[in-house]
Every structure is written in structure tokens, then in C-alpha cells.
């Protein structure tokens, strides 16, 4: 394979340098996500702790590896992880990138010569009891679980809370409903917002359920799932150490062959986020339509005026938060396609789309969480009900006629509505003109406040 020239200012070694040469694909957007790198370092810290406790490595080697791992986890060494997502499908090059940096940083701590592999070897010590095939999927689970817990769910809970508050704030604001984008019977603005809050709540529940499968770790399966070069109990003890280190309930996967060859848990979490994206897209679209105008649209609500909306039209304000949210939703749906295709690429004992699957899921989890938080702060919190406009639309709606069905029947009520629309008169005028009811009966039967729930 020939010798490689490695820049003197870096801590990586030959395998990393070779990957840089072999996979010059993409720009900054194609870099291996740092949460994966940090998760790899965390699991290697736990492996070093285990191996030290079993006398497999010396105190000097074990302590230095753990200190080096902490430096990676803290972000101090981020510049030493230059590889891209598009490499070997097992993530071997990134695993070795981490091993090489751990080795060389440990050597520095021990006043040795960088690149000598002494006294800390990247394979023999930093990778002891591991294979890329089990350590990389373990890092996939650790990194995505942490991002989902700390960013995705936090953002979604924040959005749900604010939507619930708006549902309560608007609970007495009676408005006209719409089905098929046509006038329908009344409801309250609070009821409408309660639907949005419930969509987000159900999304949170789906994501939380999917977290369970991410808690199962592949570490201990080594190359093909058999656990070669480990001893009995290693997998359980390592999972326990990782759980202690992260504060999350990780356990060892009960079947390592499944854990290496398939990543259904990654597909499952992506599927949950895809459903969330569908919900958020619906909510954002509704809000921008309800806020359309200010004079030529629905104008039932006013969205916050965060910034000028046009470079040529003075005074124009656009629903930019809604647009950002729907773009995020589109990206998440695209990522889910990548992850779905990636999940299909398990051949015999190994799935070989690991890096792109994890990178796509991390991207989705991060942007959904960020978008929910941003959308809450810069859109939902500032929504105001335009009650005069809402009342005008309710009073002029023809679908209030539905309340007459129990009194005069569907067909007669339909004729009253069509007549009002044709003549351009009010529903009340058309009803009295029909001779089927009096003005007093109309006022008694057509009460929008009585139409927003069962009798």
C-alpha cells in the first residue's frame, strides 16, 4: 500500500491519511458528524476502563487512553477528525481515525513519540475487544440517542407546551371551520390549536417509543456477532459502563448478529421523525394560511413580524418561520429515504450503509429539535387572534345552515344556503324568505356558540 506522508501537526495516522486520499468526496457538509466521533471516544473510554479492571492493559496505558478519550469527548480535538461520511460502509476508517488519535494523544501524555505506536497501540490497545463492525453501530446508537434526548425531544416538548397555552388562550374564540378548503361548521380557535398540540404530543410519544430500540448496543459482537476476542460477560459489563457514563439506560443487544447485520432501530427512529415532519408541515402550513393577508387573505390570526419580507415591496411581512419549518420537514423526509434505502443494505453479517444512515438520522434529529424551538420562540408565542375578522367570517358563513338540519331537514336547508349564495344575501334573509322558519326561530336555532360541540 506504500508509505503515507502525514502532516506533523495532526494526531491521526496512516489509515486516516489513506482514507483522505481514497475518499475525496464532498465539502464540509460531507464530514463525519462529530457526535459519532465523540460517541466512539466514549465507548473506547469504557472499553479501556474494562480492560484495565481485568488486567488486560497496564495502568499507564489504560489511564492515558481514558484521558485521551475525555479530550475527544470535550471537543478539544475536533480538528483531528477530517474524514467524510462516504467511506467504507462499516465506518472502519472513522473507527481507526479515533483509535489513531487516542493512541497518539496518549503517547503525548506519556512523553513518547507521536506515530511510534508505543507504548499505546491504536489496534492492540485502543481497539482491544472491538471491531469497527460492533463499535461503529454502538456509536451510532449512543450519538443519536443523545441528540434525540437533548435536542429533538426538548424542542418538541417546548412546542407542545406553547401550543397547549395557545389552545387555552383561544378557547372562547369561535371561528368558522374549513374542510376541503371550503367553509364548514364552526369550532373554536382553541379547538383548532388543541389539534396541533395533540399532533406534537403523539409525535413525542412515537419518538420516545423508538428510543427503546436505540438503547440496545452492538458492542461485544466484534467482527460478525460471535464476540471473537472477548470473554463472557464483556458485552453486559461494557453496556453497563456506557450507561453509567452517559446517564442513559443502555443495555447490550440480546442478539449481536441482528445488531451488526441490520439497523432496523435506526430506520424505526427515522420513521418516527418522518411522521413528526408530516405533522409539523401540516401545522406550519395551517398557520401561514390562517395568517395570510393582511387584507387579501384569511387574516384570522397575525403572526409575529420578525423581519421585512421583501426587498422591493415596502411593509411586506412574510411567514418566514413557517417556511423554514416546512423546509426542515422536507429535508427530514429526504433523509428518511436515505435511511430506508440504507437499512436495506444488510448483506449477510453486516450492514454497509452505517455512516450515511447515522449521519442522516443525526441531521434529522438535530434540525427537527432546533426548528421546533425556533418555531415556538419566533412564531407560536407571538400569534394573536384577529377576533373582529374571525367574527365577520363566522357571521357571513353559509355553513351555519347545518344547525337547521334537525328542524327543517337537509334538503330544505341546502336550498336556503344555495339561494343565499346565488342572491348574495345573508343566510338569515334567505331562511326567512323560504317561509320554512321565522326570524325568531332562526335566531334561536342558529347560535355559533352552540355549534362547537355535542348538545
User: Which one of 3, 180, 296, 311 is the catalytic residue?
Assistant: 180
CA 328, CA 404: separation in Å to the nearest integer?
44
> Among candidates 23, 31, 25, which has minimal Cα distance to 363?
31
DSSP secondary structure string, 137-151? HHHHHHHHHHHIIII
CA distance 320 to 99: 44
Annotated catalytic residue, options 310, 347, 396, 421: 310
Q: Is 434 a catalytic residue?
A: no
**Nearest-angstrom CA–CA distance, 134 and 128:** 12
Give the Cα separation of 391 and 176 in Å (integer): 9
Question: Within 379-438, where are the H helices?
Answer: 387-396, 405-408, 410-423, 427-434
Kind and range of the H or E element at 374? Answer: helix 354-378
Reply yes or no on whether 310 is catalytic. yes
Query: For 92-217, where are the E strands, in sequence order?
Result: 174-179, 182-188, 216-217
Residue 380 φ then ψ, to 5°:
-60, -45
**Cα–Cα nearest to 365, from 289, 449, 448, 274:** 274
Annotated catalytic sites, by residue? 180, 310
Amino acid at each position: 500500500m506504500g508509505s503515507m506522508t502525514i502532516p506533523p501537526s495532526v494526531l491521526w495516522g496512516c489509515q486516516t491519511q489513506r482514507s483522505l486520499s481514497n475518499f475525496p468526496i464532498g465539502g464540509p457538509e460531507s464530514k463525519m458528524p462529530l457526535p459519532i466521533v465523540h460517541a466512539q471516544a466514549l465507548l473506547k473510554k469504557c472499553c479501556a476502563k474494562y480492560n484495565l479492571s481485568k488486567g488486560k492493559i497496564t495502568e499507564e496505558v489504560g489511564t492515558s487512553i481514558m484521558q485521551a478519550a475525555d479530550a475527544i469527548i470535550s471537543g478539544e480535538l475536533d480538528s483531528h477528525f477530517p474524514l467524510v461520511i462516504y467511506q467504507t460502509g462499516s465506518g472502519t476508517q472513522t473507527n481507526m481515525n479515533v483509535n489513531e488519535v487516542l493512541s497518539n494523544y496518549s503517547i503525548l501524555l506519556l512523553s513518547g513519540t507521536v506515530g511510534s505506536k508505543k507504548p499505546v497501540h491504536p489496534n492492540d490497545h485502543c481497539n482491544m475487544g472491538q471491531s469497527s463492525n460492533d463499535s461503529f453501530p454502538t456509536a451510532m446508537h449512543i450519538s443519536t440517542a443523545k441528540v434525540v434526548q437533548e435536542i429533538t425531544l426538548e424542542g418538541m416538548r417546548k412546542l407542545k407546551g406553547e401550543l397547549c397555552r395557545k389552545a387555552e388562550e383561544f378557547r372562547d374564540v369561535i371561528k368558522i371551520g374549513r374542510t376541503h378548503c371550503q367553509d364548514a361548521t364552526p369550532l373554536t380557535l382553541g379547538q383548532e390549536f388543541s389539534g396541533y398540540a395533540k399532533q406534537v404530543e403523539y409525535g413525542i410519544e412515537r419518538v420516545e417509543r423508538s428510543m427503546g430500540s436505540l438503547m440496545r448496543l452492538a458492542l461485544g459482537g466484534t467482527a460478525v456477532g460471535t464476540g471473537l476476542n472477548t470473554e463472557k460477560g464483556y458485552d453486559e459489563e461494557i453496556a453497563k459502563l456506557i450507561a453509567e457514563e452517559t446517564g442513559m439506560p443502555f443495555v447490550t443487544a440480546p442478539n449481536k448478529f441482528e445488531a451488526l447485520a441490520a439497523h432496523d432501530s435506526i430506520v424505526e427512529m427515522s420513521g418516527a421523525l418522518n411522521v413528526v415532519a408530516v405533522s409539523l408541515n401540516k401545522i406550519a402550513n395551517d398557520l401561514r394560511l390562517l395568517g395570510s393577508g393582511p387584507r387579501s387573505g384569511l387574516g384570522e390570526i397575525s403572526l409575529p413580524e420578525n423581519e421585512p419580507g421583501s426587498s422591493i415591496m415596502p411593509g411586506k411581512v412574510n411567514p418566514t418561520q413557517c417556511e423554514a419549518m416546512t423546509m426542515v420537514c422536507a429535508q427530514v423526509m429526504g433523509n428518511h429515504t436515505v435511511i430506508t434505502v440504507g437499512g436495506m443494505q444488510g448483506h449477510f453479517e453486516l450492514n454497509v450503509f452505517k455512516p450515511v444512515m447515522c449521519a442522516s438520522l443525526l441531521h434529522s434529529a438535530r434540525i427537527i429539535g432546533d426548528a421546533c424551538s425556533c418555531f415556538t420562540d419566533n412564531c407560536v408565542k407571538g400569534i394573536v387572534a384577529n377576533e373582529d375578522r374571525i367574527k365577520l367570517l363566522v357571521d357571513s358563513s353559509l355553513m351555519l345552515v347545518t344547525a337547521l338540519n334537525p328542524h327543517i331537514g337537509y334538503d330544505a336547508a341546502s336550498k336556503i344556503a344555495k339561494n343565499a349564495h346565488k342572491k348574495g344575501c345573508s343566510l338569515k334573509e334567505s331562511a326567512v324568505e323560504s317561509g320554512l322558519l321565522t326570524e325568531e326561530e332562526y335566531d334561536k336555532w342558529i347560535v355559533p356558540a352552540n355549534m362547537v360541540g355535542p348538545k
